[in-house]
Structures are given as C-alpha cells and as structure tokens.
Structure 1
Amino acid sequence: MKKSNNISALMIVFNESKHIEDAINNIDFADEIIVIDSFSTDGTFEKLQKLKHVKVIQREFKNFADQRNFAISQATKDWILFIDADERITEKLKQELNSEINTSNDIIAYMFKRKYFFKQKRIRFCGFQTDTTYRLFKKGFFKYDETKIVHEMPIIDGKSKILKNDMLHYCFDSAAHYKSKMEHYASLKALELFKKGKKPNAFHFYIRPLYKFLVNYIFRLGFLDGVEGLQICYLSAYGVYYRYKELEKLSS
C-alpha cells in the first residue's frame, strides 16, 4: 500500500517482545512510526532499536491517558493512527482508512470495530461483539481525558465515524495473561476511584462481580464461546472484584 505521507502511527508498549516486530510491520504504510516504551524488560526496546525507521522514546508509565497524550504530542503528521502491539490492521481496513483521510469531508475521528482472539480462537460474544475504539483521528482535534486513567475516554472536537472493516485484536495468549491484564487495569481504576473519594462496600465485592459475570456469560452470550467464554467471563468478573480490593487497600 502506498504511503499517504499524512499519517503518524503511534504505539505505547511495555514488554511486547512477542508482538512488536509484527505490529511494526503491520503499520509500515504510515509516514512515521513512533513508539513510547515504558522501560520494557523483555527485549522489546532492544528489538525496536534495530528498526531504523521507528522513533523510540522511553518514558515512565503514569497511566494510559497520560502516555497516549504524550505520544500524540510527538507526532508531526496531520493524521494519527493509534495501534496496540496486539492489534493488526487488515488490508481492507488499510485501504478504507486511507481512502477516508484522502476524501474531502468533515470527519476528524474514526472508530474501528475489533475482532477478538483468545489463545488464537475467535471470540464472538462475551460482550466483545459490540466493541469499537477510536484509533484514527486528526491531530489538534482529539486528546484523551486525563481524569480517566484506564479505559481512556476521548475528547473530540468534531464529527466521528465508524469504519466498516474490522481490526484484529490478539488480546490474550492465556488465562494467566488475561488475569494479569485485568489486575493491571483494575489497579488503575481503583486509583481513579480513590481520587474521587469512593469507598468500597459489600455490594462492590459480591454483587457487582456477579452481575458482570451474568451479563457477559448469559445476556451477552459468552456461553456460546465454550470454555474460553467461561474463562473470559469469569476473569472479567474477577477484575471487578480485584478493583475494589485494591480500592479497599488504598482507603485503609
């Protein structure tokens, strides 16, 4: 695919040695590639240093919104494409996004639909069937709300649109990998709640995790994803429980 000469591709990473080379190759159509590494310890940084067409900056991780906004500040092109190391842009999506940004319209941000994979198996339910995320936007019209330090919320100055083609998300290699991610996100969410003065109670420890499991496994049809669906729904509920246990620690 011909470069647009208009896209800065950005990534924030930590210990993504398994994915990093494929992820960089996947976005080689961008005019510039910038990676913000949070002092990886698994060889990710060393692999990135060997890629001469990639600008690598090491920066301490504070939270996702802060790190993403810093990455945006480093971009020099008109359009910014954010991608995580475990995401892949299909050829059809590349063609669609390139067509969009080279078409005269008033859209300044685009959402991507994602197909999830768990241990290389496509996950069709568990609440993932409606997942979309902002991944392409015009510089100067988009930033992340830094009061939301996990599950970042965008602040958009203009119109947005959902693209037709899907991004692939190889999000979890194993149940242990998923659990570690849930714990990381839960710890950040607990800090966010603590800063707002929230305190946990029995409802948060028992009812909210159960509700999370039932919604994803029953109402969002997680049971149709088999054993993997059960694992995902259980660990999502565990993440809610872990969030409030961490909040309890902060509050004590």
Structure 2
Amino acid sequence: MSACIIAFNEADRIADCIASLSFCDEVVVVDSHSTDATVRIATELGARVVQRPFDGFRSQKQFAIEQATHDWVLCLDSDERVGDALRTSIEAERAHGFADAAGYRFARLSEYFGKFLRHGNAYPDRVLRLFDRRRGGWRGKREVHEAASVDGPVRTLGGDLIHYPYRSLEQQLLKTQRYARMMAEHDFARGKRATLGKLVLSPAWRFWRGYVLRGGFLDGWHGLVYAYVRANYVRQKTIMLWMLQNGQPVTTPER
C-alpha cells in the first residue's frame, strides 16, 4: 500500500503527516517546488519526493497516485494525520487483502483553534481516501473541493483522519476566498448561474443547517465562528458567480 501526499511549504507539518503513515509500504510526496525545508524533511524521513508545478488540487492528487508503486493508495494532505483507531481499521482490511471493496471512506476530525469540532458541518465529513487506483482515482474536471471516486463498492471504516486545516484565522479567510473564486469560476464555466434568491438565502441556509440542525452550537464558540466563516464562504462564492455572469472581474485585471 502506498501513501500519497501533496505538499507546498509544509515544513512545520509534513513530519507529523509522514510519521502517521509508518505502516504503509511507501510514502510518495508530490511537492509543488516548496521554498522551505519541506523536501529535505520528507526525504530524511524516507519519503520519495517528486516535484511538479501546481496546476490544481485534483490534478496534483491524480499525478501523485500515478507515481505510486502499489495499486492500493492512501491519499492525504500535509495537514492530515491517520489516527490510531483508523490505522487499526486500515491494517485489519489490508490483512484480508482489501477483499470486500474498491475503496474505503472514513470520518475526518478537524482541529479548530484549540478544539476538535465534533458536530455541525465539520464532522463526520467522511472522505474517500483509500482505494484501488485500478478502479478509480481523482476524476472529473473540478480542481477545488476535489473528491476521489471508484467503480465498485465503498465501505466505511472506523476511526478518524485527524485534520489541522488552519494555522490562523487570517489563513482560513484567505483560503476560503481563494476556494470561493475557484468554485465560482468552475460553476460559471459549466453554465451555472446565481440568482438574487441564492445571494440572500444560501449563506443563511448554510449557517442554519450547520449550526442549528446539525448541532454545531454544541462545539461552543468554536462552532459558532466556524459556522459563520463557512456561511461567508457560500456568500463569497455566490457573489463571485453573480459578478462573472454580469461580465465583471473577480480578480484585479493585469495592467
């Protein structure tokens, strides 16, 4: 089984990610020409590092699994770690030759400024990350909020993929704005259009669904801030789509 990681300037996090994958037969890191010590640290920890210019999250992850020497691949971002219970579940399936599925999904548990979020839209956030690359991969054209898919049965494993997504609130806001623009551009290219109703109602619904209906309030102030920021992401994405369909730029034009 090969572990596949994509990375860019992750010197402060890549070591913990690789350490959590010690049960894998190999670790492949696809690095987008980091300017910090990411490559050196990954190499010293025994990972095989391949450098490739970044042209999209989906494309980078698909390239990563193509570099693996094993057909069963476990895909992580540098800010993720395999938890102990999840490792036990994966090893049990590997001992049986991954006989019952083409892929496996599992919950992702995110740390948010000192607290793990266990409610709302943040959890369980199940992701398909362990699969037979001969039966699937990172398919489709969407380069952001990318998801793997397989042809065949998918089973759910116990345990959590531990996620440390943000170093600061500023980083989260910048990241969500970037993702909002990428999603708006993707939706616009596919012919999707925003409406005045969506401009008003979609952000409110995202907040209400996550914070109230799914119990995000149970995570205290962390859950409240998370719900507000996620609702703002929907607001930004919808506004940007509205601007694009009305012939307005969403980025500063080059002069």
Alignment of 1:218-233 (within 5 A): 218-233=212-227
- 1:220 corresponds to which letter in structure 2? R
Q: Does residue 149 in structure 1 map to residue 131 in structure 2?
A: no
Runs of 5+ unmatched residues, structure 2:
248-255
Give the Cα–Cα distance (whole angstroms) in 1 for the partners of residues 199 and 159 of structure 2: 39
Post-superposition offset of 1:95: 2.3
Q: Does residue 77 in structure 1 map to residue 70 in structure 2?
A: yes
Q: 1:154-201: CA deviations, max 9, x gaps?
A: 331111100012222222333223222212221221121021122333
Length, aligned pairs only = 245
More strand by share: 1
Alignment of 1:29-108 (within 5 A): 29-48=23-42, 50-51=43-44, 53-104=46-97, 105-108=99-102
Counterpart in the other structure of 1:208: 202
SS in 2 for 1:110: strand
Runs of 5+ unmatched residues, structure 1:
1-6
Counterpart in the other structure of 1:171: 165
* Mapped contact 1:36–1:58 kept (Cα < 8 A): yes
* Mapped contact 1:175–1:231 kept (Cα < 8 A): no
Taking structure 1 as reference, are residues 168 and 52 closer, same or farther at Cα in structure 2, changes over 3 Å only? Answer: closer
Alignment of 1:124-163 (within 5 A): 124-163=118-157
SS in 2 for 1:152: coil
Q: 1:106-132: CA deviations, max 9, x gaps?
A: 312011112221113111212223311
Taking structure 1 as reference, are residues 192 and 83 closer, same or farther at Cα in structure 2, changes over 3 Å only? Answer: same
Taking structure 1 as reference, are residues 118 and 134 closer, same or farther at Cα in structure 2, changes over 3 Å only? Answer: same
In angstroms, what is the RMSD of aligned CA positions? Answer: 1.9
* Mapped contact 1:126–1:232 kept (Cα < 8 A): no
Taking structure 1 as reference, are residues 169 and 177 closer, same or farther at Cα in structure 2, changes over 3 Å only? Answer: same
Identity %: 34
The TM-score with structure 2 as length reference comes to: 0.88
* Mapped contact 1:10–1:81 kept (Cα < 8 A): yes
SS in 1 for 2:77: coil
* Mapped contact 1:14–1:39 kept (Cα < 8 A): yes
* Mapped contact 1:10–1:35 kept (Cα < 8 A): yes
Post-superposition offset of 1:238: 0.9
SS in 2 for 1:171: coil
- 1:185 corresponds to which letter in structure 2? Y
Q: Does residue 16 in structure 1 map to residue 10 in structure 2?
A: yes
SS in 2 for 1:200: coil
- 1:36 corresponds to which letter in structure 2? V
Post-superposition offset of 1:42: 4.1
4+ residue segments displaced more than 6 Å: none
